[in-house]
Amino acid sequence: MMQKPATVLDLNAPMLSLRICAGFGNPHAAAEARGVAYAAQRKAEQQGAATKLATLIKAAETFGYEIEITATPKRRGPAKRAPGRSR
């Protein structure tokens, strides 16, 4: 049975979710990846928000970690009710 990779970093932008994962529950790899991801995030924040995603991806690829990117629909307030319906 394969274990799920340990999630090291979750970066949630309004339309994007980025997860950098370390291999199969190895605590040393997870700790190393966490350090790399946070260092990359700090550097990206110094350079400006526009480069954050690119910097994180480059850092993850440099150290050979799996990258998972998923787009999510942006939530825009409460759901609309059908016209003519009372509460």
16, β-bridge pairs: 71
- Please give the average per-residue pLDDT across 25-32, as a whole number: 64
CB 77 within 8 A of CB 42: no
- Please give the average per-residue pLDDT across 17-36, as a whole number: 60
Cα dihedral angle (59, 60, 62, 66), rounded to 10 degrees? -170
- Please give the average per-residue pLDDT across 4-10, as a whole number: 48
What is the per-residue pLDDT across 45-81, written as a single tens digit (0 to 9) for each?
A: 666 645 556 666 666 666 666 666 655 555 666 666 6
Residue 76 CB: number of other CB atoms within 10 A? 7
Cα dihedral angle (30, 35, 41, 47), rounded to 10 degrees? -150
Position 4, amino acid: K
User: Rounded distance, CA 69 to CA 65, Å?
Assistant: 13
User: Rounded distance, CA 77 to CA 55, Å?
Assistant: 31
